[in-house]
Amino acid sequence: MVPNTEKISSLVHQLLIELGEDPGREGLLKTPTRVAAALEYLTSGARADPQKVINNAIFTQETNSMVIVKNIEVYSLCEHHLLPFFGRCHIGYIPSGKVFGLSKLARLVDVYARRLQLQERLTEQISRVVMESIGAQGVGVMIEARHLCMMMRGVEKQNSVMVTSSVVGTFRESVATREEFLTLVGSRSN
């Protein structure tokens, strides 16, 4: 379902009034329209098909070496407060005859991040789609993120970082594989 941005804009206009603001003042005149457009974009992943995003950019490659893409920027909205969380996603997988076109992993992160989300669910969704899309031997996904719902309100802890991981297949079954992934993800790139 495509969001009704006109209705969202009207609701944001009413919200501004309820917050004690004057939606007719210069700085807020176009705010309802801007917020509606931003929310449509920031939740667009809920209306996207991950397989269309992959767009057959899966290639035959006989290798069983670990493939890792580190530091994929991730921006999402916490479903509890509609406030952003942001950080880095690291994805590793061991192919089983098929590999992704490199940009597709970042695009998959965006598909799942551009929704009202929980970091824990986001991590699981990414690992599942990577595993299922190429029949990987195993997948590891780690996300390190800062949550504005924790930094700007509530406990107001500015330096807190939430880390989630999802390991499936050989990454779960083999301690050595899991440790290799975690070591490579933790290593610094120059």
Q: Which residues are identified as catalytic?
A: 78-81, 119, 147, 149
Closest by Cα among 153, 181, 12 to 81:
153
Q: In a 10 Å sphere around its CB, with 0-12 CB exposed, 13-18 middle and 19+ buried, how is residue 33 labelled?
A: middle
Closest by Cα among 39, 17, 43 to 28:
17
Distance (Å, whole) CA 53 – CA 105: 10
